[in-house]
Amino acid sequence: MTDPIMAALPGERVIQSSPLATVTTHCVIVRNPDNRSRTIVPLRYLAKIKTSKTTYPGLLVIAAALFVLAAAAYYSKQDVTAAIPMAILGSLFLLAYMAYRKASIAFVSGGGSTSTTEGNLAEVALVVGAVTAAQADNDETAVD
């Protein structure tokens, strides 16, 4: 089954598709935060792309504290067996910090702003790169 929005846009080639947005040659189809609707933003009206990142620095602080405690336990004159579990726990908090980082994109045009749902940092970077490349291609063809 084909996507009804892509069927309604003849001549559009998909450059990049992700859970956040689909970038075509002349527009961006944004999946709205409610995950029920989509918004089509023409690239020629796109004024700015804003990215917002959500991190949990508390997890990083806890990981750093556990690593400091593990180092202190390792270099103490007492039993060093407590250092290994603390280092493992610190590593788990560090992995949790890396896994829970999220980002979203706001496409700002003359008529307002359209935001995407939260995704991981790699998805956001791919969408922003694809939009930038599509805008550059459109600018080159407009000059010719």
pTM beyond 0.85: the answer is no
Q: What is the pLDDT of residues 54-98, one digit of tens each?
A: 999 999 999 999 999 999 989 887 777 888 999 999 999 999 999
Q: What is the pLDDT of residues 29-49, one digit of tens each?
A: 888 777 778 888 888 888 888
Q: Where are the domains of the chain?
A: 4-47+115-137, 57-99
Q: Are 52 and 121 in contact (CB under 8 A)?
A: no
Q: Are 96 and 55 in contact (CB under 8 A)?
A: no
